[in-house]
Amino acid sequence: MRLIFSRRRFIFGVVFPLSLLCLLYLLIGFAYSSGWRLNLSRSMPLGLYQIDSNFSRLHRGDLVIFCLPKKMLPKNVDFLQNDQCPSGVAPFFKSIVGIPSDHIETGIFGVKVNGVLLPNSTCREGGDLRCTQFSGPLSSSEYWVFGYGSNPSLAAHSFDSRYFGVIPLTSILGIAK
């Protein structure tokens, strides 16, 4: 009787939880390879997103994932490591607020797109973060991205175009839906 109890305890205490963890690992791997991403960062709305890498056009308001070149990353800021981007950091997830031919202006007031001030867009400098100074139209392959945050007050804390400037179309990996 004691042997049966300890087997049952071993199965339910060790084997079953390990099996669930293995199944979860396999499901996450399958979801990731199928283009699904889970956003747990506070710079964009939390949730599960399907990534479409076969896009033909980008529009204002599209949520995109993209890679930044290593030279655009602050040196002493830790980013999630990942092999999906050549820089070695995980792709960024932001909203497109400026599309080709839009006029972008940055300053102490924040970011204006075509003369309209984005809410919560003032730049916070500190440490290795420096605000990008920009004024002019975006070229045919440039985009301005902004992190709206999982709630509006968090937008001010997003690492986005305010700090690294425009992103080229070639850096965009896909649209998140």
Report yes or no: 47 and 73 within 8 Å, Cβ to Cβ.
no
Quick: pLDDT tens for 84-134.
788 888 888 899 999 999 999 999 899 999 999 998 888 887 766 788 899
Architecture, CATH, for domain 42-176: Ribbon (2.10)
- pTM for the structure as a whole: 0.77
What tokens does 153 get?
A: 């007050």
Domain boundaries, the chain: 1-34, 42-176
Please, what sign has the CA dihedral across residues 134, 137, 142, 148?
Answer: positive
Structural contact between residues 125 and 133, judged by C-beta atoms closer than 8 angstroms: no
Mean per-residue pLDDT of the chain: 82
